[in-house]
Chain A
Amino acid sequence: MYEFHMPSLGADMEAGTLVEWLIKPGDEVQRGQVVAVVETQKGAVDVEIWEAGTVDKLVVVTGRKVPVGELLALLRTVGEPAAAAPETPKTPGTPHVATAPAITAAALPRAEAAAVSAVSARLRVSPSARKLAEELGVDIASVQAAEPGAVISRADVERAAQAKTLTPVAAKPAAPDWHAQMRMAIAAAMSRSKREIPHYYLATNIDVTAVSSWLETENLKRSVTERLLPVVPFMKAVALALREVPELNGFWIDGALRSSASVHLGMAIAMRGGGLVAPAIHDADRKSLDQLMADLRDLITRVRSGRLRSSEMSDPTVTFTSLGEQGVEGVFGVIYPPQVAIVGLGKITERPWVEGGVVVVRRVATATLAADHRASDGHRGGLFLAALDRLLQEPERLR
């Protein structure tokens, strides 16, 4: 038995009213024959049947609204025996038309009253400040805005965090120790670095006699307060060399190297009582040695007093660490993510040095590079150390 259903004549047709049957039980029908007229919201449509045979039964009476897909008639296909006597449909009791359940006003939630009171009690904190407070373990409720009624910003949270550090007695007993927090922060960053960054390491011994002698002469001309620390010309040389190999200066973000046009040199500075920070000296490649010295002095002072600016913490495009004062010969650093390189300098020592086949005594330092192999290859790293060497041979040009 072939079932003839209410056809779907368009995605926007849900039901049709059967206006007229053009066939009756016992009629022979052909494939494609118009067998009924259905009234739709667009007008009356002739409906065809897609099977040949004999009408067995008309299931639906005219005048009824029928959903798409509901059975309209039964057809005995060619060769199929007749079942019972042909029937005409009975008038059904109630038309079967689906309706959506009624929505009553009482069922709707009454939301307005509750919403208003919730807002007034809420602190006005910037999203970024709220996140930073969480990271630094600062209770946001204890943070004061810069002026009454203002929104609490990152700067307010940073200030609150510093105040907490500087006045440990005032800290809540439950709050974790500041140094312990720093340890944890270093632990997290360094673990991430070693987990994510495929480091490669290069080292080279550089004859620093020229730059050391030049610095001695230069410092003789200066008053004690104006003297340059030995590390300063090295900072400048590192910054300039980085300009030549931009793959070492920037960030690895979302699977891609983002080289930085500026060189913001992160200076690794040890903190009193333990821990380490590496805040930025901005645009180190473009600053004079005097400016670099002034910036470094300012930075060290503020590191020791815990008064760093947030931009100094997030801006470094590379890190420079010098452990020469501690007598270390070479430093193989761990990259601070998402940076892609860390440059190290060991102590300056007098060593035998072969020059033109003759052994001479030279002042020598070991410069090292740890770099992210995703961002650069050893060849580029080698070019950087070579550039550093070259720049250090002409100290007067570093000014």
Chain B
Amino acid sequence: MTPDPILARKLLHEMVRIRRFEEKSAELYSAGKIRGFLHLYIGEEAVATGVMQALQPEDAVFATYREHGHALARGLSAGAIMAEMYGKVEGCSHGRGGSMHLFDAAAKFYGGNAIVGGGLPLTVGYALAQKMQQRTGLAACFFGEGAIAEGEFHESMNLASLWNVPALFLCENNLYAMGTALERSEADTNLVEKAASYRIAGKSVDGMDVLAVLEAAQQAAQFVRAGNGPYFLEFRTYRFRAHSMFDPELYRSKAEVERWKQRCPIAGFSVRAISEGWLTPQTIAAIEAEVAREIAQAVEFAEAGTWEPVETLTRDVYTARVQPE
């Protein structure tokens, strides 16, 4: 795939935006501004960037708890996400969700699910409703390779295939479910074959190459939109940082991490874009500057945000109606 300069700029901009946002998040976490669990997407930027480029506004997205990148690439504002992680009312989930539960109804972004595999059945049902209501959008679901071991994965694959629903299954295989390597948790590590056993078409893709991701996602989305049923994509990727902030990474070697860092999706794409003449070094510097401004504004927005008064603690548990208690 050969991108035009506009697309190339867009892809790089999105990946840099995610990278810098995550770095700022790590810093703010260390400073105690962000609390709870913080799972960073650094190293995996090409996956969310490429996939979102292939999706349409009418499609729905279900994501994992490592979903800042998905949310940013889907178009949620960096400020709303940052404010959410601060716990402020201005956050995209009004401070009720935090890092792992980013939501946006307008963007059809159905969260941030912190139960591994928990979004899969939702996706199947959402896609079923699309079909029953003769709507055109598909339902896309991100999950890690760790979810493959969950029963919900197998139940959902079977149901999606049985009912032939417009679902796009996006497995981000970063090799480790927290600290458990894939080969230590799966008897068969060929993930595409697992989907195939449910008669779901699938493909394995280099998740460090944003163009490969985009191309595969476009083809898969087209397949699903054509009414052929669900599709399964495995993206082979790697997280450069620990599982969460408090993880000494006892389960993998520094040498392995360094080897993968050589395949950094941003550095790799930048070098290629310059050599192919898609982008100039000046453009890349301009992207960095734009992103730095946006991140700084996001932090300002979060800092200036407000805390919800404790008086409304129990709101949004039920829809407002007369309650007898």
Is A88 among interface residues, defined by CB-CB distance under 8 A? no
The proximity string for A residues 1-30 relative to B, scoring 1 for CB distances below 8 Å and 0 otherwise, is 000000111111100000000000000000
A13 touching B32, Cβ below 8 Å: no
The dominant DSSP class at the B interface is loop
Contact of B258 with A by CB under 8 A? no
Closest-by-CB residue of A relative to B37 is A10
Chain A residue nearest to B32 in the complex (CB): A8
Is A45 in contact with B23, judged by CB distance below 8 angstroms? no
B29 at the interface (CB under 8 A from A): yes
Segment of A36-44, A104-112, A381-389 engaged in the interface with chain B: A36-44
Please give the distance in Å from A320's CB to the nearest CB on chain B.
Answer: 31
Q: Is the CB of A12 within 8 A of B246?
A: yes
CB of A40 within 8 A of CB of B245, answer no
The number of residue pairs between A and B whose CB atoms lie closer than 8 Å in the complex comes to 39
Is residue B35 contacting chain A, with contact meaning CB distance below 8 A?
yes
Pick from A40, A48, A50: contact of B246, CB under 8 Å: A40
- Residues of chain A within 8 A of B247, CB atoms compared: 42, 45
Cβ-defined contact, B36 with A11, below 8 A: yes
A40 touches B23 (CB 8 A): no
- Whether a CB of chain B sits under 8 angstroms from the CB of A69 is yes
Neighbouring B residues of A40 by C-beta, 8 Å: 246, 248
Quick check: is A32 within 8 A (CB to CB) of the other chain? yes
Q: Report the interface size class on chain B.
A: 10 to 19
B107 within 8 A of A: no
Interface residue? B30 (CB, 8 A): yes
B35→A50 contact, CB < 8 A = no
Q: Is the CB of A11 within 8 A of B35?
A: yes
Instruction: Let me know if B35 and A32 touch, CB within 8 A.
Output: no
Inter-subunit contact A44/B248 (CB<8 Å)? yes
Q: A10 vs B248: C-alpha distance in the bound complex, in angstroms?
A: 12
Rounded to whole angstroms, the CA-CA distance of A48 and B31 in the bound complex is: 12
Best-surrounded residue of A12, A13, A43 (most CB of chain B within 10 A): A43
- Tell me the bound Cα distance from A74 to B32 in angstroms: 19
Cβ < 8 Å to A, chain B residues 248-300: 248, 250
- Bound Cα distance from A7 to B29, whole angstroms: 8
Contacting residues, chain B, for A11 (C-beta < 8 A): 35-36
A45 adjacent to B27 (CB under 8 Å): no
Residues from chain A with Cβ under 8 Å of B242 in the complex: 45
From A12, A42, A43, A50, give the contact of B30 (CB < 8 A): A50
- Taking the nearest CB of chain A, how far is it from the CB of B48, in angstroms? 21
Q: Which of B36, B242, B246 has the most CB of A within 10 A?
A: B246
* Smallest CB-CB A-B distances: 6 pairs: A10-B246, A43-B248, A7-B30, A50-B27, A9-B246, A45-B248
Report 7 cross-chain contacts, Cβ distance below 8 Å, ordered by A residue.
A8-B32, A9-B30, A10-B244, A12-B246, A32-B23, A40-B246, A45-B242
